[in-house]
Amino acid sequence: MNLTYRPRRLRGNDAVRHLCRETRMSPDSLIYPIFVDETLQGVRPIEALPGQNHYGLDSVCQAVEECLANGVTHCILFGLPAHKDAIGSSAWDEHGVVQEAIRTIKAKYPDFYVITDVCMCEYTDHGHCGILCGHEVDNDQTLEVLAKTALSHVQAGADMVAPSDMMDGRVAAIRAILDEHGYTATPIMAYSAKYASAFYGPFRAAAGSAPSFGDRKGYQMDPHNRKEALKECALDIEEGADIIMVKPALSYLDVIRECSDAYDLPMCAYQVSGEYAMIKTAAAAGLIDEYRIMCESALSVFRAGANMLITYYAKELAQAIRSGYIG
């Protein structure tokens, strides 16, 4: 055969395949979720998320050390407070679980990058992401408590805040309060296109944040929609978001692609608990190759246009990148 083009020339061995990789990944672009439980001493495995742990404040540095040992330098913190009430007041408590975790981490590892999830659902006794008015979450009242919460995280030493509540106007409210207090240099990563997804199931079990009635469809996005995702990103950018996010990742790769094409901000994606749990359980049943599927899933997210990924597999992926298997 007299073929001009033989694409297989660039697939012949690892050296040439690695040379021609179009998508590049680095441990720097991975963010590891850490769950800190105020009532816990030591480390407790999370049943809903095999391989993940709850950490007590006395052992949160262990989570950081495990990250650093694998080359992961960024985390996102989630708190399980000892006390919950209707307005989620522990969320902005100066001595709340996340605030104390930040101080503990920063005292020992000042260069470890700490992002905080800003939301009310772990702190309210009804499990919704804001302050209720009847059976609905009141948007504008919630903005006030979200802003206070974000400020308290930054005052405790957080490097970046990430509002995940999906209230309208939260980025503007948080930007305003941070600027007012002189934190003009602290970036906001907005969970911009966050869908009302069943993929959050294991997280809600892990964080004790499932709503006690109803669902989150009144504030999180309808999975049917893509133009709405563009709109949500545009609004967050107008309000001052520094990084936008699409969540979940694997079932929303089209949205990641579209938003990353449309906007010039760095784009994050969140491979959520249900995505992780599906890989874990299928692998535990002997049905799939966990390592390869973990790698392939993460690659797809970067190939779709994400610049960074929040994932429960951050440590394992960092190792896979370091070994050259991906990246």
* Site for ligand PBG, residues 59 to 118, rule: CB under 6 A: 117
Give the type of residue at 146: L
User: Which of these ranges, 12-20, 80-88, 196-204, 288-296, lies near ligand PBG under the rule CB under 6 A?
Assistant: 196-204
Rounded Cα gap, residues 32 and 28, in angstroms: 11
User: Which of these ranges, 56-64, 199-207, 227-235, 297-305, lies near ligand PBG under the rule CB under 6 A?
Assistant: 199-207
Indicate the residue among 159 and 275 with the shorter CB distance to ligand PBG: 275
Asked if 121 is part of the footprint of ligand PBG (rule: CB under 6 A), the reply reads yes
Indicate the residue among 232 and 327 with the shorter CB distance to ligand PBG: 232
Among 74, 148, 204, 315, binds ligand PBG (CB under 6 A): 204
Q: Are 268 and 310 in contact (CB under 8 A)?
A: yes
Give the type of residue at 58: D
Nearest distance, CB of residue 279 and ligand PBG, angstroms: 13
Nearest distance, CB of residue 162 and ligand PBG, angstroms: 8
So which residues are the catalytic ones? 194, 247
Nearest distance, CB of residue 8 and ligand PBG, angstroms: 39
Nearest to residue 121, comparing CAs of 168, 175, 167?
167
Indicate the residue among 31 and 237 with the shorter CB distance to ligand PBG: 31
Rounded Cα gap, residues 59 and 104, in angstroms: 9
Rounded Cα gap, residues 36 and 96, in angstroms: 11
Give the type of residue at 117: D
Whole-number CA gyration radius for the chain:
20
The widest CA-to-CA distance across the chain, in whole angstroms, is 74
* Site for ligand PBG, residues 265 to 294, rule: CB under 6 A: 272-273
Indicate the residue among 102 and 327 with the shorter CB distance to ligand PBG: 102
* Site for ligand PBG, residues 206 to 235, rule: CB under 6 A: 209
Rounded Cα gap, residues 230 and 246, in angstroms: 10
Indicate the residue among 129 and 188 with the shorter CB distance to ligand PBG: 129
CA angle (185 as vertex; 64, 93 as ends), nearest 5 = 60
Nearest to residue 322, comparing CAs of 66, 15, 14, 27?
27
Rounded Cα gap, residues 168 and 235, in angstroms: 9
Rounded Cα gap, residues 113 and 308, in angstroms: 14
Indicate the residue among 317 and 327 with the shorter CB distance to ligand PBG: 317
Nearest distance, CB of residue 165 and ligand PBG, angstroms: 6
Among 203, 219, 302, 313, binds ligand PBG (CB under 6 A): 203
**Contact characters 303-322, ligand PBG, x per CB under 6 A:** --------------------
Rounded Cα gap, residues 216 and 237, in angstroms: 23
Where do contacts with ligand PBG occur on this chain (CB under 6 A)? 117, 119, 121, 129, 164, 200, 203-204, 209, 272-273
